[in-house]
Structures are given as C-alpha cells and as structure tokens.
Structure 1
Amino acid sequence: MSGTAPGGPLDGIRVVDLTTFLSGPFCTQILADLGADVVKVESPGGDSSRHIPPHFVGDDSAYFLSHNRGKRSVVVDLKHPDGRDVVRRMVARADIVVENFRPGVAARLGLDPALLRVEHPRLVWVSISGFGQHGPWREQPAYDIVVQALSGIMSLTGLPDAPAMRLGIPAGDLVAGMYAVMAALAGIVQRERTGGGRWADVSMLDGALSMLSYQAVYSTVSGTTPRPQGSRHDSIPTYRSFVGGDGRELVVAANTQRMWVGLCEVLGRSELVEDPRFSTGRDRLQHERELAVVLEEAFASRPAEAWVAELVARSVPAAMIKSVPEAIEDARSHGRGMSLPLTSAAGEVVETIGSPLQWMDGGVATTRYPPGLGEHTRDVLDELGYTAEDVAALAERGVVTVG
C-alpha cells in the first residue's frame, strides 16, 4: 500500500479503514488528506452511505462523496473465512486500523484488536462507537441524533420555550471522527517513542459531552439547567444576531469593553456607554432585555451589510449570516482551497469542502476523487502478494469483488 500524497505529513503511513457511514469515514478522510494511504474495506454491498438520497453523482450519493476522498476501495466479504484472511494480511502491513463496529463485533468477525495487537505490537487500533468499548450502554446502537439528545446538546439548541432542536450539522459524528484522528496520531507518536502501539476507545457520546464546554461547568457550579439560547449568549448580551433594516441578519461579537464602546459609536448611541445600566459587562447582562430593545431598534434603521462594514472598520467583530451557497461562494473566491472540485475517471465532477489543515512550508493534500466500489481491490491484493490466479479464485467464490 503506497503513499497517496507525497509531501503530506503522513506520507508512508498505511491505514486500514473498516468504517462506514460518517464518524469513521470522516476520520480516515482527514488521515488521507494528511497523506496517509487509506484503504477502505467495504462489504459486497458497499458502505451504506453510498446509497443515501436525495443527491447522487453517478452511482454514489453526495453524502458518501463528502467524506471519502483520497482513499482506495477494496471489497471483501468479512463473513467468509478467506475474506477475513485477506483483511488480516492488510492489518499485518498497516500502521493504523480504524473501525466503527459495535463493541465486540470486530472480535466476532475474527478481527479481535486485542489479539491482533499481540501479533503486531506496533499497530495503532482506533475503535469508534456510540458509547465506548465498556460501560452500561456499550451494546446500544447510536447515531448522531441519539448522541446529540443524550449529551444535552439538543436541549441547548433552538429557541427558548420551543422544542429541542438538532444541530444542522452531524456534530456527534464529526467530533468523534476528529477525536479519532487525535487518538491515531497520538498512538503513532507513542509508537515512535516506545515501539508499541495503542488501542484507542472513542465514544461518540463522550465526544459530544466534551463539546458542552463552559455550559457543563455553568450547570455544575450554579446548580441550574442551561436552556436554549437562540442566537444569543448566556454571558454576553452583545454577542448575538440582529436583523438589519433590509431584513438580512448579521452577528456581532462585542465581547470586550473596547468593542462595546465601538459598537455604541457605530450605532450612534454613545450615550449608552455612560448609562449605569450598561456600564460594565455585568451591568449589561443584568439589564439584557432593556439593552436588547435599544440595540434591535438601532440595527433596524439601516441595511445589515452597512452595519457590518462599519463595525469591522471599527474593529468590532461582525459578519453577515450566510446561506450555505453563499459560504461556498466565499470559499471559492478566498483562494485557500476550501472549495475543492474533484473529477472522477469518468469525468464526473463534485465540488467538496477541502481540508482546513494547510502548511506554510509546503505539503500536498490529496485531491483524488472518492473511490468507486472495489476500484482498487486488484491493486491492493497484488501488493499483499496475491497472484492474478489467487484474485480470480477469490472473486469467483465471492470473497472479493474487483471493480
């Protein structure tokens, strides 16, 4: 398995990707972006996310294409003993294995990480699951909305006095994927120091809980239950959204005294600085509702973009609230590679979001189109020492599928 991104920090690192859907594929896509050779092992039916409607490019869903660039695809039937042998040979050559089976499933498939790490002590194994490898909920299935619900995140999202709301992005999956990358890289660092790898246990719920950040500590310190904030902030009443006179929305992040003074000056309401109700951050929070009325009325007097321009010129952080197409158009124009068009061998083009990990001293992120199902089966088996006759025999018995 050769490196796929010469110059990437992980060039030469080999990853066996036994993941499906989102948390795992997001993790392994980051590793591929960093230069690792990621071989995605799929069942004969393929990663189930290949089939998620409503948007498709060729045979693959936009959902799948968004989290699988830069990888190679091998189709192996893990229910077949010879298929498990193929994967064990892949693991023997790998630096990192990432899987998101339910706890215990890998072992039942003959891929017990505890045993494989005895055979290959330098191996870094990363297990992603809903609730972790141990604990009372370890056997329960989990998806993003489940961990958003259980973690308290949904209780904080949406408008006050309205039903709980799921975040518009799959944060539970994505956070788990990012923690899995950290675990994989930490395992490689330790291996380089000690010669031995690690087995990381990444729980989606644990990751979501970690994202509660100060809200968790607010609750434990105060004994209260944090509630949905809408677009406002529990601590800073000038850190929120407003509606301009044209109906467009903007956000302001005036979270210091200097920014508060600048906000008042831009709004033409300098007298608010001396108003004892609003003199300090504590005063403003105590009189939040009165302040909201004043600020909302002021912002309604001019178009939102005019306010943003003046606030930014005055070094008060502010921005328009963009739609997804507007944000992507900005990414195209900024020239930082975050709008990343990828072209398949058949000429199909999909515009994806690029890697935010960039290197001032050079280094190449992968720009390879996500793999077709089983596209690289023959190549990878050849690298593992299987002859053409071996591959043909495995394919005939349904152990592998050659794309």
Structure 2
Amino acid sequence: MTEPTGPLAGIRILDLTSVLFGPYAAQILGDWGADVIKIETLDGDMWRYSGAFRNRGMSGQFMAVNRNKRSLALDLKHPDGKAALQRLIPTADVLVTNVRPAAMARLGFGYDECRALNPRLIYAAATGFGQEGPWAKRPAFDEIIQAASGLASSVGSDDEPQFVPSLIGDKICGQALAGAVSAALFSRERTGKGQLVEVPMLETIAGFNSVEMLGGYAFDPPIGPPGYKRMKERKPVRTKDGWITMLPYSGDNWSAFFEAVGRPELIEELQVRDPVARAENIDRIYARMNEIAQGRTTAEWQEMLLRLDVPHTAFARISEITEQEHLKAVDYFAAIDHPSEGKIRQARPATKFSEAPPNLHRVPPRLGEHSREVLAEAGYSGSEIDALMAARAAGEG
C-alpha cells in the first residue's frame, strides 16, 4: 500500500456496487485518489467468482475493477449491519450504488434517508433505465442494454442484430458515472450542497450510439437511412502475410495513398478529393484498397503508410496486448505482487494529471479484508466489532 496521489485524494466513497458498471466507476475514482470503501454482502460481489482465479473469490475479472479499494463485508438486512452503514454515511463524500432504487429504499438507504444522515452527500445511482420511465424497475445487464439501445442493430443489422463481444455498455456507463460524480463534487465545492446523480444505462448507450448511427434520422423527417456507412465498410484488410487496418481519412490522405501505390488514376475516378463524393463512393474506394493491400506484406504497408502519415496499425492479438510496442514503452500494464494472489497484471490509470498523478495504491481486496479497520474508523471498539462478527452482521476475510 502507498498513499493515494490523485486529484480526489481526501474524498471518501462508499461503493455499494457489484459486477461491472458500478465497480468500474468506483475504481476510476479510486485511481484518481479517493478512499473507496467497497461494501459487500457476506458472500461478496458475485463478480469475485466469475472468470479464472487462483483462489476462490479473487477472479481476474473482479480484480480488474476493484483495485484501490478497501472491502467491508456487511449484512445490511441485519439491524446491526444497517446501523454500521448509517454510522459511515456521515463520514462519506459519495455513495455509489447499482442496487435498484426500490431495493435501496427497502433497505433504508434511499436518497432521502441518506441525505438526512449527510446533506452534503453525493448519492450516485447507477441504474439500468431512467427512473421516470416505464422500465424504471426492470433489471438490466449489458446485453439487455445493447439490444434495447439500438447498438446491436447497428453492429449487425435490423434483420440480424449482433452484440459487441465486450461488456461495452457497462464500461462506457462506468466512465460516465465517474465523470458525473466528479462534476457533482465540483458543484458541491461551489454550492456546499450534495445531490442525487443518476446515470441510466439505456439512455447513456442510446445517446452514445446516436452520435453517428442516427444518420439520416438525425433530421425530422428523416432525409436518409440510419447508420454510418463508413463503419460498415471499415474492416480488417488482408495483406500478403496477415492483416492491417488502413484508414486514409482526408482527401490528401487518399491522394497520397493512390499515388504511392501507383494508381493515381483512381484519385479522379473515385473523386477522393471531394468529401461528399468520397462519402458516396466509399464502398468502391474501400474495395479498391482491399484489392491493392494484398500486394504487400504488413510490414511493407506499415513502412509506407508511416512515411505518408496515413493512419494505420497492424492488429494486436489480445493474448499479446501487454507486449504491444506503444503500451510496453509507456509501461501501461503493471505487474503487481498481491499478498494472496501472487503476481497479477493490471492496466494502469490511463488519464494523466500533471499536478496529482494517479497511482496504484491498493491491490484488489479480499472479501472483508478491511472490515475491522473501517469499523474502527467509524468509532467501533474492538469488542463491538467482535460482536458484529459473532452476530454475522459483519464479516472479515
């Protein structure tokens, strides 16, 4: 453990979240220096048991979104466990939850109850659907949101939708929630007031997807079909010995590309200098590029495209991503010694702050590892903590 150094150092966050959306947001805030207390059931976050692990309850997927946190195991249905959280809320700046709002209210920890305990509290609710809509009480998971937001339709088609093979909705919304909490904290600095912050997954991903995918439907009435044609045409390009992605973007890029490959006649034939005509001809342009690409090796293409300043890259295998040239040079993936899990690999915080650089100050916690420590900070004596443990109102690792 080291001292947190990020811009949120000194901020305390109660993290009542599980799986991915909420924990990822809380981890970002922890990366930025906040003291994040992860409050788990006595069985722990179910994400602890998903994926590969050396020791039960410490899966790689769990550890990827739960570093820079302390773990406090509480049974919030037990009156003494509930009382412990009530004692912690006045000490916190932020409470983050992805428990459905109705369930939080039944537990006695809805926004109004928490605000009564701490008027300056930022209460951040990670929800599946906006709480003013008819789907407010529905459960939501990543694939549900990909389907309902139009994302699956835009990745595949209306006739054959496809999911992005990544929990992209959870992760995008996690980043949105971290930003929203930061903005609310800034607002509190100016006004002195806490507030309720809600980040609903469906609305967030629908807005994210609409940026380019509404297409002609961005106008009322529509002036063209939905979708972004270029994204359907942009695919991995086969070379003589592998794959590359080439992305000549401007008229100058395309002209330089066709000149360099000895096909200058295509500049006029495909009208690549005119952005409107280029967009209309994009399927023909990419077809030509795909044909031409097969005449050189991936290395030969990279040398040429780098010289021409045309955006490009070879494809990285996920199994080799830690050895990717740029990421390795910036030491992005950290090898960390975990006291129970041995050597683990973590992606460092990507955001840079020149005056308050984030750091990895805590390894991912074992379930209830910090229960005694956090309860003592809340004013419980040793004998009182023993009693909580004996009553199964709290647990320890």
Q: Distance in 1 between matches of 2:309 and 2:38?
A: 47
Deviations 1:308-354, CA, capped at 9 Å, x for gaps: 22112111111112221233211685343420222211361211222
165, 168, 171: which is aligned to 1:174? Answer: 171
Q: Distance in 2 between matches of 1:270 and 1:87?
A: 70
Kindly state the Cα deviation for residue 362 of structure 1 after the two structures are TM-superposed. 5.2
Report the 3-state secondary structure (helix = DSSP H, G, I; strand = E; otherwise coil) of the residue aligned with 2:162.
coil
Contact 1:148–1:154 (CA under 8 A) maintained in structure 2 = yes
- Name the residue aligned to 1:299: 293
Kindly state the Cα deviation for residue 22 of structure 1 after the two structures are TM-superposed. 0.4
Q: Distance in 2 between matches of 1:370 and 1:331?
A: 27
Contact 1:73–1:376 (CA under 8 A) maintained in structure 2 = yes
Following superposition of structure 1 onto structure 2, how do residues 79-158 of structure 1 map, counting pairs within 5 Å? 79-158=77-156
Kindly state the Cα deviation for residue 271 of structure 1 after the two structures are TM-superposed. 2.1
Deviations 1:59-99, CA, capped at 9 Å, x for gaps: 21111111001100010001111111111111110001000
Q: Residues 73, 161 of structure 1: CA spacing in aligned structure 2 closer, same or farther, 3 A cutoff?
A: closer
Could you list the runs of 5+ residues in structure 1 that have no partner in the other structure?
none
Comparing 352-361 with 138-147, which one deviates more in the overlay? 352-361
Comparing 127-136 with 277-286, which one deviates more in the overlay? 277-286
- Name the residue aligned to 2:340: 346
- Name the residue aligned to 1:195: 192
Report the 3-state secondary structure (helix = DSSP H, G, I; strand = E; otherwise coil) of the residue aligned with 1:56.
coil
Contact 2:63–2:364 (CA under 8 A) maintained in structure 1 = yes
Contact 1:125–1:199 (CA under 8 A) maintained in structure 2 = yes
Q: Residues 16, 290 of structure 1: CA spacing in aligned structure 2 closer, same or farther, 3 A cutoff?
A: closer
Contact 1:49–1:64 (CA under 8 A) maintained in structure 2 = yes
Contact 1:103–1:138 (CA under 8 A) maintained in structure 2 = no
Letter in 2 for 1:63: Q
Q: Structure 1 residue 185 and structure 2 residue 185: aligned?
A: no
Q: Structure 1 residue 379 and structure 2 residue 376: aligned?
A: no
Kindly state the Cα deviation for residue 50 of structure 1 after the two structures are TM-superposed. 0.6
Letter in 1 for 2:237: F
Q: Residues 194, 292 of structure 1: CA spacing in aligned structure 2 closer, same or farther, 3 A cutoff?
A: closer
Contact 1:157–1:228 (CA under 8 A) maintained in structure 2 = no
Comparing 90-99 with 178-187, which one deviates more in the overlay? 178-187
Report the 3-state secondary structure (helix = DSSP H, G, I; strand = E; otherwise coil) of the residue aligned with 1:44.
coil
Comparing 128-137 with 372-381, which one deviates more in the overlay? 128-137
Pairwise CA RMSD of aligned residues?
2.2
44, 47, 50: which is aligned to 1:46? Answer: 44
Report the 3-state secondary structure (helix = DSSP H, G, I; strand = E; otherwise coil) of the residue aligned with 1:250.
strand
| TM-score normalised to structure 2 length | 0.93
Q: Distance in 2 between matches of 1:187 and 1:250?
A: 43
Contact 1:240–1:252 (CA under 8 A) maintained in structure 2 = no
Q: Residues 331, 32 of structure 1: CA spacing in aligned structure 2 closer, same or farther, 3 A cutoff?
A: farther
Contact 2:48–2:59 (CA under 8 A) maintained in structure 1 = yes
Deviations 1:285-316, CA, capped at 9 Å, x for gaps: 33344333322221111112311221121111
| TM-score normalised to structure 1 length | 0.91
Q: Residues 223, 106 of structure 1: CA spacing in aligned structure 2 closer, same or farther, 3 A cutoff?
A: farther
Percent of counterpart pairs with the same letter?
A: 31
Kindly state the Cα deviation for residue 211 of structure 1 after the two structures are TM-superposed. 1.1
- Name the residue aligned to 1:226: 226
247, 251, 274: which is aligned to 2:245? Answer: 251
Report the 3-state secondary structure (helix = DSSP H, G, I; strand = E; otherwise coil) of the residue aligned with 2:95.
strand
Comparing 12-21 with 212-221, which one deviates more in the overlay? 212-221
